[in-house]
């Protein structure tokens, strides 16, 4: 049984933002979302509950917490980390362990937490890290035998204590009953007049118990206090995701320019991602796919062997196998391209199902449409789907040939094998195998004189 308390009530004033700090996105997900994901996974394995302490911006933070399935505890006044944990523990049964995480320390992983929980079975365990620049962090004070005896906040530290490079991550695990015993003993006689959770270390030592300092990865302890740190952590996480893809057989031509937002991104081996590509979760890409320079893909599925040419923008769309999309194509929500389809330059599709082998190659808008197999949609074809109030559907059978610059005034249905003359405005249904021509007949006037300006 594991209680996980995530502290997230702080203001985050150094972000200079109207958005609460813990809702700022790191690699496509709010900071708090990263921490809750780890917490959920721990609770799944060990049983327990997750409580998030919210305060500043709780009107915005609370709905996110509820959506994630965690409990909320309100801390109306931010009287310190110790106070935050104390109110979060209100009403918790005393068995099991309690783990404290921070909403703004998002790169914490289960590998870092597992040894902490193991150490926290029999006493207070603190996750520490040895860092190059410990400025601002609480310092870990150990005695000559290496036992942790106290944590001193930077503001309260002496010159020699400030020279210590082992810092407090702020992440702790301990038997719930121990926190319940120590928290009421905290006082606020320090530089910030706050109830410091860190003082539990000293209190635990005073009561004759050992405190365990568990050294973890530096990244696990890195907090986000400003936008510079947010960018720094984003780079770390992006690099980790890029490396994982490359290790699994995906080529990233210029890894540092590829952004992988959200954790649900799956790409099969031998796919090549060109520079400056952004993928927003969920994304599923098959093998031997090429994703062209500058493409921006959100919530997409792409089948094996397809080529997405440069500057394609796609959202909530699926592309079958061996298809070709782009360059400069926009696939909007509800686009479903079957195998071996082509959608070319300056084409836009929306809510459109396109059958196997069909081509929309140049300068077209296809919206609210169902298109059969082997259809050729000529250059500049427009489905006129909107009458100003309602959207209407265009249906094309198999083997339709739509002449260039055709306007299809929906609702309209063209049967199998229909041909439309270039420049036609098609307003009524066309039966299969017919040719539909809807344009005025050409008149040629001989020896025509163009108007001329008089010469002076």
The residues of the shown chain that bind Ca ion, judged by CB under 5 A, are 223
User: Smallest gap, in angstroms, from Cβ of residue 102 to ligand UD1?
Assistant: 4
Q: What SS3 class is residue 76? A: coil
In terms of DSSP H, where are the helices of 183-279?
199-206, 218-221, 227-247
Could you give the string, one character per residue 185-224, with x where binding to ligand UD1 holds by CB under 6 A and - elsewhere? -----------xxx------------------------x-
Interacting stretch for ligand UD1, rule CB under 6 A, among 8-16, 278-286, 323-331, 418-426?
8-16
* Cβ 287 vs Cβ 304: under 8 Å: yes
x/- letters, 316..335, toward ligand UD1 (CB under 6 A)? --------------------
SS3 call for 346: coil
Window contacting ligand UD1 (CB under 6 A); options: 4-12, 141-149, 201-209, 376-384: 4-12
The secondary structure element, H or E, covering residue 41 is: helix 31-46
Alpha-carbon distance of 410 to 34, in angstroms, equals 46
> Taking CB within 5 to 8 Å according to partner kind, which of ligand UD1, Ca ion, none is near residue 102?
ligand UD1
The upper half-sphere exposure of residue 388, i.e. CA atoms within 13 Å in the direction of its Cβ, equals: 0
Instruction: Name the minimum Å distance from CB 60 to ligand UD1.
Output: 14
Q: Does 79 bind ligand UD1 (CB under 6 A)?
A: yes
CB of 382 to Ca ion, least distance (A): 55
Q: Considering only residues 36, 104, 347, 380, which one is a binding residue for ligand UD1 as defined by CB under 6 A?
A: 104
Output the CA–CA distances (angstroms, integers) from residue 285 to 60, 238, 336, 422, in the order listed.
34, 18, 15, 37
Of the candidate spans 38-46, 168-176, 248-256, 354-362, the one that interacts with ligand UD1 by CB under 6 A turns out to be 168-176
CB of 320 to ligand UD1, least distance (A): 46
Q: Checking DSSP bridges between strand 313-319 and strand 335-337, what pairing results, if any?
A: parallel
Q: Which of 42, 53, 183, 400 binds ligand UD1 (CB under 6 A)?
A: 53
Name the helix (H) or strand (E) containing 316: strand 313-319
Shortest gap between Cβ of 279 and ligand UD1 (angstroms)? 29
Which one of ligand UD1, Ca ion, none interacts with residue 300, CB within 5 to 8 A by kind?
Answer: none
**Using CB distances below 5 to 8 A depending on partner kind, what does residue 134 bind out of ligand UD1, Ca ion, none?**
none
The HSE-up count of residue 178 (CA atoms within 13 Å, CB side) is 27
**By CB under 6 A, is residue 57 in contact with ligand UD1?**
no
Minimum CB separation of residue 307 from ligand UD1 in Å reads 46
| Angle between helix 58-67 and 31-46 (nearest 10) | 40
Candidates 1-9, 124-132, 348-356, 361-369; binding stretch for ligand UD1 (CB under 6 A): 1-9
Please say which residue, 223 or 397, places its beta carbon nearer to Ca ion.
223
Contact range with ligand UD1 by CB under 6 A, out of 72-80, 319-327, 399-407, 445-453: 72-80
Cα radius of gyration (the chain): 31
Closer CB to ligand UD1, residue 224 or residue 314? 224
Compute the distance between CA of residue 325 and CA of residue 314 in angstroms, rounded to an integer. 10
- Let me know if 434 is a catalytic residue: no
Contact partner, 213, from Ca ion, ligand UD1, none, Cβ < 5-8 Å per class: none
Nearest C-alpha neighbor of 413 from the set 370, 365, 378 = 370
Say if CB 255 and CB 277 are below 8 A apart: no
Q: Is 179 in the site for ligand UD1 (CB under 6 A)?
A: no
350 is written with which tokens?
A: 């929306």
| Partner that binds at residue 170, options ligand UD1, Ca ion, none, CB closer than 5 to 8 Å by kind | ligand UD1
Please work out the total of residues on this chain that contact ligand UD1, with binding judged by CB under 6 A: 27
196 binds, among ligand UD1, Ca ion, none (CB under 5 to 8 A by kind): ligand UD1
Place of tokens 């050294």: 215
Write down the catalytic residue from 56, 296, 342, 362.
Answer: 362
Quick one: which segment of 81-89, 322-330, 380-388, 445-453 binds ligand UD1 (CB under 6 A)?
Answer: 81-89
Q: Which is nearer to ligand UD1, 198 or 341 (CB)?
A: 198
3-state secondary structure 81-120: HHHHHHHHCCCCCCCCEEEEEECCCCCCCHHHHHHHHHHC
Q: Which of 263, 265, 269 lies closest to 237 in space, CA to CA?
A: 263
Minimum CB separation of residue 105 from ligand UD1 in Å reads 6
Helix/strand number for the chain, H first, E second: 9, 36
Query: E strand or H helix at 161, and its extent?
Result: helix 159-162
Contacts of 106 (CB under 8 A, 6+ apart): 26, 31, 32, 34, 35, 224, 233
| Residue 85 Rama label (left phi>0; alpha psi -120 to 50; beta) | alpha
Least Å distance, CB 79 to ligand UD1, is: 5
* Binding residues for ligand UD1 (CB under 6 A): 7-10, 53, 75, 78-81, 83-84, 102-104, 137-138, 151, 153, 167-170, 196-198, 223
Catalytic residues: 362
């Amino acid at each position: 049984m594991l209680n996980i308390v995530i502290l997230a009530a702080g203001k985050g004033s150094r972000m200079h933002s109207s958005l609460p700090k813990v809702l700022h996105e790191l690699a496509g997900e709010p900071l708090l979302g990263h921490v809750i994901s780890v917490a959920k996974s721990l609770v799944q394995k060990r049983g327990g509950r997750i409580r998030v302490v919210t305060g500043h911006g709780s009107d915005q933070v609370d709905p996110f917490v509820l959506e994630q399935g965690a409990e909320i505890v309100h801390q109306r006044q931010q009287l310190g980390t110790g106070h935050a944990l104390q109110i979060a523990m209100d009403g918790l049964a005393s068995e099991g362990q309690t783990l404290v995480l921070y909403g703004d320390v998002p790169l914490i992983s289960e590998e870092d937490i597992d040894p902490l929980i193991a150490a926290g079975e029999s006493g207070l365990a603190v996750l520490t890290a040895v860092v190059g620049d410990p400025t601002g962090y609480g310092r870990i004070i150990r005695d000559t035998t290496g036992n942790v005896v106290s944590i001193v906040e930077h503001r309260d530290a002496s010159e020699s204590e400030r020279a210590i490079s082992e810092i407090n991550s702020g992440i702790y695990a301990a038997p719930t009953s121990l926190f319940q015993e120590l928290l009421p003993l905290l006082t606020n006689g320090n530089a910030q007049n706050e109830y410091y959770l860190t003082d539990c270390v000293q209190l635990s030592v005073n009561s004759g118990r050992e405190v365990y300092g568990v050294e973890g990865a530096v990244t696990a302890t890195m907090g986000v206090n400003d936008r510079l740190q947010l960018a720094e952590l984003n780079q770390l996480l992006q690099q980790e995701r890029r490396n994982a893809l490359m290790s699994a057989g995906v080529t990233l031509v210029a890894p540092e320019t590829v952004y992988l937002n959200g954790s649900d991104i799956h790409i099969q081996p031998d796919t090549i991602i060109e520079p400056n590509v952004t993928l927003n979760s969920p994304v599923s890409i098959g093998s031997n796919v090429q994703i062209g320079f500058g493409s921006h893909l959100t919530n997409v599925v792409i089948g094996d062997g397809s080529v997405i040419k440069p500057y394609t923008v796609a959202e909530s769309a699926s592309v079958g196998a061996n298809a070709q999309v782009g360059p400069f194509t926009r696939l909007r929500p509800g686009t479903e391209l079957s195998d071996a389809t082509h959608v070319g330059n300056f084409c836009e599709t929306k809510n459109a199902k396109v059958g196997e082998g069909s081509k929309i190659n140049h300068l077209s808008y296809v919206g609210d449409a169902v298109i059969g197999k082997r259809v050729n949609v000529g250059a500049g074809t427009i489905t006129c789907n909107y009458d100003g109030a309602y959207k209407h559907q265009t249906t094309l059978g198999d083997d339709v040939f739509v002449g260039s610059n055709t306007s299809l005034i929906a609702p309209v249905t063209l049967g199998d094998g229909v041909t439309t003359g270039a420049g036609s405005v098609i307003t009524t249904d066309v039966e299969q195998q017919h040719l539909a021509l809807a344009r005025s007949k050409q008149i040629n006037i001989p020896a025509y004189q163009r108007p001329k300006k008089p010469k002076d």
